[in-house]
Amino acid sequence: MLRSQVLELHNISHGSAGARSIAIMATLRGFKMGRWLAGKLMKELGLVSYQQPTHRYKRGGHEHIVIPNRLERQFAVTALAHRDWTRFVEIEIGLYSNRFEVISPGALNNSMSVEKMVAGQRSPRNTIIMEVLRDYGYVDFRGMGVRTKIIPQTQAMSGQLPEFTATEDYLKTILYRLPSS
């Protein structure tokens, strides 16, 4: 039974899930499994974890970069990890001529405020999701993305600070960029 779960979870991930991720996903499905057992079963089944190659979007034969990939990744991935999954509302990502916006459903977690977030205080909403994203290499799980990545890189890119707006219903983040000439 555990072998079939490992095989199914590996196939669902298109071959990119490692032992830790498979163990977490199996445990979430109600099968008690640690990283060591998942790795052993993967070896027995001949399964190897591999990461998909990166994909570059191109326009007219030339790479078209609007927002550096580090920031796109930071927003798109952590919006999934920090959103309120009890709300049946989609994450909104908007790309405009002068800015990139992300609206993530749900208020800030616990006693978190925009000021505390900018200062570097950590308050993960979905710890298991963050662990899986860390296992896949999407996040470093330090909880310092706003202070150490988003603010300095946005300021370097546009000369402006990012804008954070928190309400009871959502967190809206705006990254400004220099207008194209």
Q: What is the pLDDT of residues 56-94, one digit of tens each?
A: 555 555 554 555 556 666 677 777 788 888 888 898 888
pLDDT confidence of residue 141: 63
If we measure between CA atoms, which residue out of 147, 146, 175, 148 comes closest to residue 162?
175
Q: Percentage of the chain surpassing pLDDT 90?
A: 19
d(CA 123, CA 110): 8
* Residue 40 pLDDT > 90: yes
Confidence check: pLDDT of 129 > 70: yes
The four Cα atoms 7, 12, 18, 24 give a dihedral, to 10 degrees, of -90
Least confident residue range of 33-47, 68-82, 139-153: 68-82
Task: Tell me the whole-structure pTM to 2 decimals.
Answer: 0.57
Element holding 9 (H helix, E strand): helix 2-12
- pLDDT for 39: 92
Do 61 and 105 meet the contact criterion of CB atoms below 8 Å apart? no
Tens digits of residue pLDDT in 151-163: 888 888 788 899 9
Q: What's the burial of 3, exposed, middle or buried (CB within 10 Å: 0-12/13-18/19+)?
A: exposed
41 to 14, 19, 23, 28: CA distances (angstroms): 17, 9, 11, 18
Q: Give pLDDT tens digits for 90-114.
A: 988 888 878 888 888 888 888 889 9
Q: What is the pLDDT of residue 100?
A: 84
Interval 116-144 mean pLDDT: 81
pLDDT of residue 57: 52
Q: Is residue 55 predicted with pLDDT exceeding 70?
A: no
* Average pLDDT along the chain: 81
Query: Helix (H) and strand (E) counts for the chain?
Result: 8, 6
